[in-house]
Chains A and B, each alone.
Chain A
Amino acid sequence: MKILVSVKRVIDYNVKVRVKSDNTDVDLANVKMALNPFCEIAVEEAVRLKEAGTASEVVVVSIGPKPCQEQIRTALALGADRGIQVETEEMPESLNVAKLLAKVIEEEQPGLVIMGKQAIDSDNNQTGQMLAALTDMPQGTFASEVKIDGDKVNVTREVDGGLQTVELNMPAIVTTDLRLNEPRYASLPNIMKAKRKPLDVKTPAELGVELKAHTKLLKVTPPAERQAGIKVASVDELVEKLKNEAKVL
């Protein structure tokens, strides 16, 4: 079985982003970029399935301008077999990403698709579900456990009330939550090896997808800043303040 994993290039999760002074967007100039943490978990899961003999090949796809090839290489260093970049000028909206991925799925015919549940830049949490609808596949979102059994996959999902398990017909789409696994670090030899793994570049036109705009970003502003308060010296003082000053007790 082939597994397709999609990955996104995003700001490193340790970086606190700043808004541009003209309020047109956030400022990503000279900011450290990385593989979206949830996508990294997706790659790890696919590689583990290959190591366990369940999967035969792991193909990783990224959509975006040329630099996203770095994140494809990172995924290849973690153990994916080959990469596909769909080259676009800008990062397309989720629905367009889903349409491009649907075409890649049509070509590659994977048995399972694993992706991150959300990207930590746009925080949309939607591409996987959209892709599932476009390809008429079942979905197991926010996965903390994935168990393949024949032509079905059981996915345990992190939901508001606790954990829910669903059984999906394959091919299916899984989106990862944080506790699915702990991704490995790529070793130096594997980073070197990754440089020689195949990486195909395609364009939206080749895939027959027209990138239509569905939304317009009007402005980006900083959030309301919270004022830091005071330090209290003791539990007595804390309780007194909460009762008499904040009046929340």
Chain B
Amino acid sequence: MAILIIAEHDNRTLKTATRNAVTAATQMGDELHLLVAGSNCKAVAVAASEIAGINRVLLSDDLAYEHQLAENMGKLVAEIGKDYSHIVVPATTSGKNFLPRVAALLDVAQISDITAVESENTFQRPIYAGNAIATVESLDAIKVISVRSTAFEPAGNGPSSEISELNISCDCKLSAFVEEVVAESDRPELTSAEIIISGGRGMGNGENFTLLEQVADKLGAAVGASRAAVDAGFVPNDMQVGQTGKIVAPELYIAVGISGAIQHLAGMKDSKVIVAINKDEEAPIFSVADYGLVADLFDVMPELQKQL
């Protein structure tokens, strides 16, 4: 039986997280189908058909899927997915939203946020904020899986596959989209940035984040934050890195005025190189940092900007 992967997109562009999920899926089996469900999203299907390893793209183009409402997506994916051995989704907020509905409708478990594939039915996943790794075997006929993007390389392009259009409209009429407030930024996205510079409560206020933004712009970096900085209203929620925010693993992560609580470490400790700038030399962030600088961030940041 084949594997069904669900594409992450915004009706215009295919999101990279889809490619990480494809790589995970290639380790579970050979025949890979990729579902693009959205509205006016033909361009996404075309992009998806070029991913190496994909044998077929299924396109479900219907107004009901425009905003990926969980009720409609859950029903659609359960309907299509019942003929597959695996249903694989990137563990983004969209995947996390609808995938458990699919699992429940199919009466199977969901294995969340996998970081390794041991065999077609055995997977590794972090638990307890990444302080333990569980190896879990699925006993179900259909394995419903969400994939942690940072644990798998993104799949590249290959020969293009055929696109089949489906005609299944699942409009549950239980919910409606009202609005979306998207934080616009010219900087790279947190989850795909090569370099991230994050600020914590030590930044003091929102204005001071310009100190990080100036350095970020010189490095082509994304700007992130700790929960404390988001809760205090310094910056919006989509910047939160951690157990319950975004999981990142860039080449370079610079933590500024962040103490290094386990919930924050859970989101960034797989970064290749970690730099910590903190005035408290006892801060736990130093225990994971490759390079630690014990100093006042308000002295360091302007100096760093000058030197880059």
Contact, CB under 8 Å: A215 / B137: yes
A120 at the interface (CB under 8 A from B): yes
Contact, CB under 8 Å: A229 / B100: no
Interface magnitude class on chain A: 35 or more
Taking a contact as CB atoms closer than 8 A, the residue among A120, A132, A172, A220 that contacts B135 in the complex is A220
B74 at the interface (CB under 8 A from A): yes
Contact, CB under 8 Å: A215 / B139: yes
Interface string of B241-255 (1 = CB under 8 A from A): 001101000011000
A196 at the interface (CB under 8 A from B): no
B282 at the interface (CB under 8 A from A): no
Taking a contact as CB atoms closer than 8 A, the residue among A16, A118, A214, A234 that contacts B140 in the complex is A214
Contact, CB under 8 Å: B133 / A232: no
Given contacts A231-B292, A246-B273, contact A214 B132 (CB under 8 A): no
Taking a contact as CB atoms closer than 8 A, the residue among A172, A179, A226 that contacts B237 in the complex is A179
**Which residues of B lie under 8 Å from residue A178 when comparing CB positions?**
227, 231, 244
Contact, CB under 8 Å: A228 / B231: no
Residue of A nearest to B302 (CB): A235
Taking a contact as CB atoms closer than 8 A, the residue among A157, A214, A218 that contacts B108 in the complex is A214
Taking a contact as CB atoms closer than 8 A, the residue among B137, B178, B252, B281 that contacts A154 in the complex is B178
Taking a contact as CB atoms closer than 8 A, the residue among B110, B174, B275 that contacts A94 in the complex is B110
Given contacts A165-B180, A230-B292, contact A223 B132 (CB under 8 A): yes
B294 at the interface (CB under 8 A from A): yes
Task: Say how far A153's CB is from chain B's closest CB, in angstroms.
Answer: 10
Interface string of B87-112 (1 = CB under 8 A from A): 00000111011111111110111111
Contact, CB under 8 Å: A129 / B244: no
A248 to B191: give the CA distance in the assembly, Å: 18
Taking a contact as CB atoms closer than 8 A, the residue among B139, B140, B178, B289 that contacts A166 in the complex is B178
Given contacts A129-B98, A161-B180, A166-B175, contact A228 B133 (CB under 8 A): no
A129 to B181: give the CA distance in the assembly, Å: 23
B129 at the interface (CB under 8 A from A): yes
A233 to B177: give the CA distance in the assembly, Å: 52
Contact, CB under 8 Å: A230 / B110: no
Given contacts A160-B93, A160-B94, A214-B109, contact A231 B70 (CB under 8 A): no
Given contacts A125-B96, A142-B93, contact A161 B182 (CB under 8 A): yes
A125 to B134: give the CA distance in the assembly, Å: 16
Contact, CB under 8 Å: A235 / B128: no
Taking a contact as CB atoms closer than 8 A, the residue among B140, B173, B181, B288 that contacts A226 in the complex is B288
**Which residues of A lie under 8 Å from residue B293 when comparing CB positions?**
231-235, 238
A161 to B92: give the CA distance in the assembly, Å: 10
**Which residues of B lie under 8 Å from residue A168 when comparing CB positions?**
174-175
Task: Say how far A159's CB is from chain B's closest CB, in angstroms.
Answer: 4
The winner among A122, A132, A239 for most chain B CB atoms within 10 A is: A132
**Which residues of B lie under 8 Å from residue A16 when comparing CB positions?**
131, 262
B286 at the interface (CB under 8 A from A): yes
Contact, CB under 8 Å: B135 / A248: no
Taking a contact as CB atoms closer than 8 A, the residue among A117, A164, A215, A239 that contacts B109 in the complex is A215
Task: Say how far B262's CB is from chain A's closest CB, in angstroms.
Answer: 6
Interface string of A136-155 (1 = CB under 8 A from B): 11111110100000000010
A213 to B139: give the CA distance in the assembly, Å: 8
Contact, CB under 8 Å: B178 / A167: yes
Q: Which of A94-135 contact B (CB under 8 A)?
A: 94-95, 98, 117-118, 120-134
**Which residues of B lie under 8 Å from residue A138 when comparing CB positions?**
70-71, 172, 174-175
Taking a contact as CB atoms closer than 8 A, the residue among A123, A133, A142, A218 that contacts B136 in the complex is A218
Taking a contact as CB atoms closer than 8 A, the residue among B98, B183, B288, B304 that contacts A161 in the complex is B183
Contact, CB under 8 Å: A26 / B110: no
B236 at the interface (CB under 8 A from A): yes
**Which residues of B lie under 8 Å from residue A220 when comparing CB positions?**
127, 132-135
Task: Say how far A212's CB is from chain B's closest CB, in angstroms.
Answer: 9
Task: Say how far B254's CB is from chain A's closest CB, in angstroms.
Answer: 9
Task: Say how far A242's CB is from chain B's closest CB, in angstroms.
Answer: 7
A-B contact pairs, 10 of them (CB 8 A): A138-B71, A138-B174, A164-B179, A166-B178, A167-B176, A222-B132, A230-B292, A231-B286, A238-B275, A249-B308
Chain B: residues with CB nearer than 8 A to chain A?
67, 69-71, 74, 92-94, 96-105, 107-113, 122, 126-140, 172-183, 191, 195, 219, 227, 230-231, 236-238, 243-244, 246, 251-252, 262-263, 269, 272-275, 281, 286-294, 300, 303-304, 307-308
Chain A: residues with CB nearer than 8 A to chain B?
11, 13, 16-19, 26, 93-95, 98, 117-118, 120-134, 136-142, 144, 154, 157-169, 172, 177-179, 213-223, 226, 228-236, 238-239, 241-242, 246, 248-249
Q: A167-B175, A241-B291 are in contact. List 12 more A-B contacts (CB 8 A).
A: A94-B109, A130-B104, A138-B70, A138-B174, A177-B237, A179-B237, A215-B136, A229-B274, A233-B293, A235-B307, A238-B304, A239-B308
Top 10 nearest A-B pairs (CB, nearest first) are A129-B100, A214-B109, A229-B290, A126-B100, A138-B174, A133-B101, A130-B104, A133-B104, A138-B175, A165-B178
